[in-house]
Chain A
Amino acid sequence: MFSNFDFDIIIRSLPYLFYDGMTFTLTLTALATLGGIVFGTALALMRLSGLAPLSILAAGYVNLMRSVPLVLMIFWFYFLVPYLGQWLTAASQPIRVGPFTSSLVTFMVFEAAYFCEIMRAGIQSIPRGQVWAAQALGMRYPTTMLYIVLPQAFRNMVPVLLTQTIILFQDTSLVYVLSITDFLGAASKIAQRDGRLVEMYLFAALVYFVISLAASHCVRLLQRRIAIVR
């Protein structure tokens, strides 16, 4: 079964896998998480604003994003982003967009819907008395949100946000459909070039497994620490 296993191919391709592939995957994960949280928080505030047009718009957006597969969204944005860029920059031609920008926009926009729901739950977990107290102290809406509600909501939701980031990390493997060299893309390219599918895919699975498992253990530890503080 493992008799004609070529472990050497894994060793030889390590620099390519990690330096090219994993760097892309981790950069994409980090930036998409940041963008997703910022955009998602804005959406959550819109949903909870009490202004009907804003909350309907945000709810529609979240439901739309959560109804379609990520793969379809990746294709959508791959073709849409050049036109969006043209519209934003008022250029005469659809602008050329690299695979990194395209996938980054996709993941930010897509994950924002999921981060929105997390932040909404976080904001709703804050007792209403705090908002009243802030208003009684003379704070306006932006001040109340920025200094009172959001910091606490964010802190309560850190474990959930991080769990979503782990899901996002695994989901970035789907940029494979655009033939991008992320970690899985790099493994797959070597696998197909050298006909070593078994070794490369098993190794890729192992790496994803170890990283995700370690990360979710850290989240669990963090959760326990936060739980003690409160």
Chain B
Amino acid sequence: MGKDKLNNIEDFLTNDSFICYVFEQTSSLKKYWDDYFKCNPEKESLARNARQILLNEDDKPGISSTEKEELKQRILSTVMKVNSYK
């Protein structure tokens, strides 16, 4: 899992296990990450920031509603195409 490589926010943001931990908190994930932070207390603030980003807590609108709608129409039209081939 390469948890020794967790040196910046992006490392946490792209770590599958960490992503699951933020959203699921199953007992094995919780134990794994609790142990990790016990051994690496200096990583806790990085992890906290990464967690906020994953949970979208700063909630800044990164995408405009027009862009959102355009992307949605693009996705829906691809879905229609894929469906009609079947």
Mutual binders A and B: no
Residues of A within 8 A of B (CB): none
Residues of B within 8 A of A (CB): none
